[in-house]
Chain A
Amino acid sequence: MSSDTALRAEALGKRFGLRGGWALRDCSFRLPAGRVCAVVGPNGAGKSTLLALAAGLAAPTEGSVTVLGTTPAAARPRVGFIAQDKPLYPQLTIAETLRMGADLNPGHWDTDGAEQVVAGGDLDPEARVRTLSGGQRTRVALALAVGKRPELLLLDEPMADLDPLARHELMGTLMAQAARGTTIVMSSHVVAELEDSCDHLLLVGGGRIRLSGEIDDLLAAHRRVSGAAATTPLDPHTVIESRVTGRQLTALIRPAGPLPGDWRTATPSLEELVLAHLRNPGAPALTPADTADTADEEEHAA
């Protein structure tokens, strides 16, 4: 059952309703185990749909998603999930919520781990969930997810409506969880807050995967270049975005070979990379995992 792949999608698509639009279409990617993966994209790009499919809360319309080497349904006991609005039962106390987690996840509940997450927020275990603030709810939801001892933790916009301090604390808790070996997938529409925490990126735009891979590899595959507009041929390279100001040309490219010495080049920041791809929906996608692991895939299929 164990696998070095935490999450894999193959031609994954999801349409809501018979005549509804595609929330997600033709998505293929592979996320190795042990990574902290950012699912980035504008609102309505399909991030929540992708996470719901992985969590086994929705069924794909086409294609398939493999979670921890098996189906989302079979992986359910090993996957933690927190929905964007952090649903909890308002009438329960925090302590009751955790006891419920223990009762519904028999055999692999981590009482200490869950209580530590709650204790980190200085919360009264006897407080009712309906009296909690947004940040406190997030913490309880996280405690419930962490108590499950998940191998994969799926978080939909965990940082939304949290104050900066709560964000930092929550991210610290998540990273401590990652240090224990848990693969973490979190969606966000704010790139800056993920840059130091995540090492893998899934950029979703218009229901499709635009970029997928290790953040370092993705950054290394792109260059921000500038040079004289008249003498800078971009032809052999994949151009994500280019702009001419006066005689100056600046561009974000995916080099196909060595770059001429008279260009000024720099590695783009993650935010620059993401924004350039989102501004240019026509730019080709880059999903290295998609092509690099076909052998691995066959092995799983066998």
Chain B
Amino acid sequence: MTATLSAPAPVTTAPRQIRWLLRLHRPAVYTWAILVVGVAGALLWLWGPLTDAAATAWHDYRTTCARDLPCRYDQDAILRYKDVYQYTTAVILAVPFLTAAWAGAALTGREVEAGTVRLAWTQGVSPLRWLAARLALPALLVTAGTGLLALLHHVAWSAGEGRIDTAKHWYDVPTFYSGGPLIAALALTGLAIGALAGLLTGRSLVALCVSALSVAVLWIAVQMSLPHLWPTVAGVAGRGRFPTYSGIKVEEGIVTSTGAHVPASTCASDASAWCQRFNDQRHAAGFYVDYHPYSHYWPLHLVPAGLLLALTAVLTTLTFWLLHRRTTGTPTKAARAVGAGRGGATGAAR
């Protein structure tokens, strides 16, 4: 009477996880798409019409007001350029925080909190493959989206250089971060931090806060270490003059009579009579400034980005290890010995 189960057909197709990952996180996918398309559109607008209009306005300004002629220039065009530039920059800078918060809250935290992981992990997909899909697809979308925005931001910023008097320098902090691969690396690290925090805490709100805060701390650390990640160049000047440099100043000091560079916290120039006397006393032969010129732009992006990717890899490995240990971990040697040594005693009373 009992019908025997027919043997399951051999598994021919891989589980279609991606489709359901997209379905379950549809609001996030739509939000991300709107954000990328919107900011990309704004940056294209900035790059073309807005930059041209603002450049024309600045040209008019220089040929009228600056020559004490009656001012005749389009101030609105300049302000519009500035506004759009600031807004797009701010949104791009928010991406790592948004990614981390979302990953912590929705990607893993809520699943653990609501218990749906126990549904997901008991389908025909192992927890590790579940995590792999959950990290790979967002990583791809975040990298592509953020990369595109950073590229457009860089292009739009370059278009204003030398044409718009108030265009930001390359070493302006928001401009620097929003225009290169470093922002994409920060977003990826945010994703890894969020996924780990969500899995560890199992509370979406806690994971959200922890992830966003971790990204802030990480960003400060990147900002502090950034100048020291690539060799600087030195600008040198004799006594009574100032070393010329343009870029990120890292260190300044005096050049001794032997040619050695000694960092100085005060009087790194003969700016006052007091400093002049002070520099005479310490036998300063000149002054120097260690700095990063614009030519260091790409190394300064790529080196920390590489370090962040390494950190991301470590965090991801940790997340996988943690999940493996939690769900399918192998018992310790001692435990196996207990299992092997099992005798009749197990049936006896405590």
Contacts and interface: CB of A to CB of B under 8 A. Distances in A.
Contact of A55 (B122, B125, B348): B122
Contact of A63 (B17, B124, B125, B339): B339
A76 B19 CA distance: 21
Nearest to A59: B329
Contact of B124 (A10, A77, A87, A181): A77
Contacts of B327: 56-59, 73
Contact of A290 (B8, B120, B346): B346
B116 to A, nearest CB: 5
B281 interface: no
A140 B19 CA distance: 20
Interface string A1-18: 000000000110100000
A49 interface: no
A182 B122 CA distance: 17
Contacts, number: 162
A199 interface: no
A34 B344 CA distance: 26
Given A88-B119, A107-B10, A291-B347, A76 B124 contact: yes
Contact of A62 (B115, B117, B123, B335): B335
B224 interface: no
Contacts of B5: 149, 151, 180-182
A105 B349 contact: no
Contacts of A34: 2
Contacts of A72: 328
A104 B125 contact: yes
A216 interface: no
Contact of A287 (B9, B326, B347): B347
A236 to B, nearest CB: 17
Which bracket fits the contact residues of B? 35 or more
Contact of B338 (A55, A62, A87): A62
Contacts of B121: 56-57
Contacts of B282: none
B126 A76 contact: yes
B15 interface: yes
Interface string B103-122: 00000000000111111111
Interface in B336-350: 336, 338-339, 342, 344, 346-350
A63 B346 CA distance: 12
Interface string B25-59: 01000000000000000000000000000000000
Contact of B346 (A11, A56, A103, A105): A11
Nearest to A71: B328
B265 interface: no
A226 interface: no
A139 to B, nearest CB: 15
A58 B125 CA distance: 15
Given A76-B124, A89-B24, A107 B8 contact: yes
B283 interface: no
Which bracket fits the contact residues of A? 35 or more
A173 to B, nearest CB: 16
Contacts of B12: 106-107
B324 to A, nearest CB: 9
B119 A60 contact: no
A274 B24 CA distance: 44
A79 interface: yes
B339 A64 contact: yes
A135 to B, nearest CB: 18
Contact of B20 (A10, A57, A103, A285): A103
A83 interface: yes
Contacts of B120: 104
A55 B327 CA distance: 9
Nearest to A12: B339
Interface string A86-107: 0111011000100011011111
A94 to B, nearest CB: 14
A35 B12 CA distance: 31
Contact of B11 (A59, A85, A106): A106
B21 to A, nearest CB: 10
Contacts of A63: 331, 335, 338-339, 342
Given A73-B328, A104-B15, A107-B11, A96 B122 contact: no
A96 B26 CA distance: 14
A284 B349 contact: yes
B34 to A, nearest CB: 19
Contact of B328 (A59, A88, A180): A59
7 contacts: A28-B347, A73-B327, A85-B115, A89-B119, A91-B26, A149-B5, A291-B347
Q: Considering the complex of A and B, which 6 residue pairs feature the smallest CB-CB distances, nearest first? A: A62-B335, A108-B8, A59-B329, A107-B11, A87-B115, A104-B123
Interface of A: 10-11, 13, 26, 28, 34, 52, 55-64, 71-73, 76-81, 83, 85, 87-89, 91-92, 96, 100-101, 103-108, 141, 144, 148-149, 151, 179-182, 206, 208, 281-287, 290-291
Given A52-B118, A56-B328, A290-B347, 17 more contacts: A11-B338, A28-B346, A28-B347, A57-B121, A58-B327, A60-B331, A62-B332, A62-B335, A63-B331, A89-B119, A91-B24, A108-B9, A181-B2, A182-B5, A283-B349, A284-B349, A285-B349
